[in-house]
Structure 1
Amino acid sequence: MSTDSNVNSLYRDPENGVLPKVDFSLDLTRAALVVIDPQVDFLSEKGVTWPLVGNSVTENGVVGHLEQLFAASKQAGIAVVISPHYYYPCDHTWEHGGPLEKMMHDVGMFDRTSPLDLTGFDGSGADFMPQYKPYILDGKTIICSPHKIYGPQTNDLTLQLRKQGVSQVILAGMAANLCVESHLRDLVEQGFEVIVVRDATAAPQVPEGDGYQAALINYRFIAHGLWTTAQVLEQLQSR
């Protein structure tokens, strides 16, 4: 039997292709919604990255879907956790960085004056989208320290999840092929079950390629589930 035949006979999933579907069940007693970078610079026409991500954000309905996820998660009583992205003046003195890091620093993405000073923060590109603030600033949502490049290795996300007894993560936010994928990879390595909400994320579209499409391929290989917002809402509202 050929290699291709072996793959087809052993692993082909009629609905999902070669990769088998994972038997995952959402348990609200140990689940959390984790939203990455729900900030103006990514999700608003006023944001500095809108020329790169705007079409993808709009096509996926990300802004509205994130609000639905916030509301349903609060109603269901699960933990809601934000992993934000901020840059302070000291971060602009880094001696090296990749091309996207350079771009973020050059355009002032997520810039704040200081870790302790909120001067100019309200309504800035680093601020949260205004429609999310009632959910994020309710005194219950966990706002982690900022991640600095893409993954959560530089913030306290994993600690906060462990302290809340969370072992399942509903993952959404920006950007699909960068911070979301990096968070997904690290959380899986840390032993969490992770569902990615495919229409509550988006990515840059550049001459080198469509970051969103690239991310979807890797999500399918890595995540325990790749759900739509509607599927997540059904699970949250039926339990």
Structure 2
Amino acid sequence: MTDPEHVRLDSLEPDDLDGHSIDELADYLDAGMQPADPSIDDSPACQNALAAIVRLRQSSLGSLEAAAEQEAPADESWVSGVLANISLEARAGRDVPLRPAAPTERPVMTEGAIRSLVRSAGDGVSDALIARCTLEGDVTELGAPVRVVVEIAVRAGATIRTVASEVRETVAAVLADQTDLVVDSVDVVVRDLVPRTDDEPADDRPADDGTSHGSDDEEAGA
């Protein structure tokens, strides 16, 4: 089977990563980030993408190997999809204003930085992997209501509603702490179930109805 670290994504060559592609960043990681490339090391977009690729590799490799051991066809399309979203989300996007400490200040945080913040926070939740994050609303206006939509994959055997709730709470807390967004809601949508590796214990909490019946359109309500 194909190692997810080497999934080719030639269709994703972006201008969003300061001239680099996801494949180039993956190769840079494989080389131990040596020799140093300042165009990558000094690029916030590339650094956000590199961090997300590392988390994806850690989460997906064992799952795909587990699927192979079970003699089930491993669906790697979700890996490619997540990498595509990492590429798109890493771009700077819109400037999101922060509350100024003085009348003469105009502090901002890029939309890409906020999406990377959401992705990092969500990936830190046990049994969750962030597939996509979008910010809906006029984020360029301080105080305007914003809806955050987070699409996730959940490890098989975990309680889907519990994982979704933990992602929602974690993302909401991080955004409240590190941005000045007025978050109207954080909506978590479960898009995939990924196999659990043999050395990962299943969630011993009671499973809800969606644990083994998640669909591409299943949404955990805000």
TM-score, structure 1 normalization? 0.29
If asked which structure has higher relative contact order (CA below 8 Å, sep 6+), I would say 1
Name the one with the larger helix percent: 1
